[in-house]
């Protein structure tokens, strides 16, 4: 069993537990009462204004273990916003990443930016749940689901006025994401089956994504040089987690990454 398979098994178990506490009908009602979603596609479309940073609230990871205690996710997100982040990503997967919907709620209350609910979406319940908690953008991992399910989940996302970050790792997955109508396509340079990082993957796959889509580089960002490399290879946006939560001044780091990438992009 791969790391991805193991994570998804846990996600499905936790989803079953949440569904037993709060029925889908109740979650849908809450989603329908939520304020209208923010336009994450527009926020990430850097065609006229340089690179965008998706700044992540991330407590731990399967590859590195604990990254940061993050005692106040709301303040961290506010620092990201002050630094010029375009989107805030919030990990909500509990077992491997230490996240929660409570973190999502805290961040939603503290920033006016679009928010990405970063989780392993395998069921429509999670999309309604994301909207109920104020998320504007969800993650769909091509490697995790067959096309029929991906298409249905993407359609529901758009029906609710949200956007999806459609994540890919291989040329075949990029082809599937494009065929499914993905508008925001991510290239994750971390292999979710082995957790290995290969930054060279981004340049290869980014060139396969057609004009009109927002191209997002995911994982592997250590410093300005990595941001600049991804932008030079076609990234419109760069998702950064570990490098921000481990830094003593995340606001300044977001600002530095944004300026460095924008200067190169323009």
Catalytic, out of 61, 89, 110, 188: 188
Catalytic, out of 56, 129, 173, 233: 56
Q: Please say if 266 is a catalytic residue.
A: no
Listed in sequence order, the residues at least 6 apart from 18 whose beta carbon sits closer than 8 Å to its beta carbon are 125, 129
Q: Please say if 58 is a catalytic residue.
A: yes
Long-range Cβ contact pairs of 174-181 (< 8 A, separation 24 or more): 174/205, 174/208, 174/209, 175/208, 176/142, 176/147, 176/150, 177/142, 178/208, 178/209, 178/210, 178/213, 179/147, 180/147, 180/150, 180/151, 180/154, 181/154
Q: Please say if 163 is a catalytic residue.
A: no
Q: Please say if 191 is a catalytic residue.
A: no
Extract the tokens encoding 10. 């846990």
Catalytic, out of 167, 173, 228, 233: 167
Contact between 113 and 88 (Cβ < 8 Å) = yes
Catalytic, out of 45, 68, 110, 219: 219
Q: Please say if 60 is a catalytic residue.
A: no
- With the C-alpha atoms ordered 130, 133, 137, 141, is the resulting torsion angle positive or negative? negative
Catalytic, out of 81, 173, 218, 242: 218
Catalytic, out of 60, 89, 118, 228: 118
Report the C-alpha gap between 119 and 93 in whole angstroms: 5
- Residues marked active site are found at 56, 58, 118, 167, 188, 218-219
């Amino acid at each position: 069993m791969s790391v991805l398979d193991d994570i998804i098994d846990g996600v499905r178990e936790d989803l079953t537990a949440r569904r037993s506490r709060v029925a889908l009908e109740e979650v849908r009602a809450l989603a329908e009462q939520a304020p209208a979603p923010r336009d994450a596609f527009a926020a990430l479309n850097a065609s006229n204004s340089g690179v965008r940073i998706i700044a992540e609230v991330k407590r731990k990871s399967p590859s590195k273990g604990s990254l940061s205690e993050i005692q106040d996710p709301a303040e961290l997100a506010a620092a990201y916003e002050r630094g010029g982040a375009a989107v805030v990503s919030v990990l909500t997967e509990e077992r491997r990443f230490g996240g929660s919907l409570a973190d999502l709620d805290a961040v939603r209350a503290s920033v006016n930016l679009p928010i990405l609910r970063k989780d392993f979406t395998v069921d429509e319940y999670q999309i309604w749940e994301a909207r109920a908690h104020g998320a504007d953008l969800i993650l769909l991992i091509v490697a995790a689901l067959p096309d029929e399910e991906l298409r249905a989940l993407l359609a529901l996302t758009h029906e609710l006025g949200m956007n999806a970050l459609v994540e890919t790792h291989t040329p075949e997955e990029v082809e599937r994401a494009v065929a499914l109508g993905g508008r925001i396509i991510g290239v994750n340079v971390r292999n979710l089956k082995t957790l290995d990082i290969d930054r060279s993957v981004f340049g290869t796959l980014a060139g396969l994504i057609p004009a009109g889509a927002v191209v997002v580089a995911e994982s592997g960002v250590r410093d300005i040089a990595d941001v600049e490399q991804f932008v030079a290879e076609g990234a419109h946006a760069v998702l950064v987690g570990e490098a921000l939560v481990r830094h003593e001044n995340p606001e300044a780091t977001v600002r530095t990454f944004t300026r460095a990438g924008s200067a190169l992009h323009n």
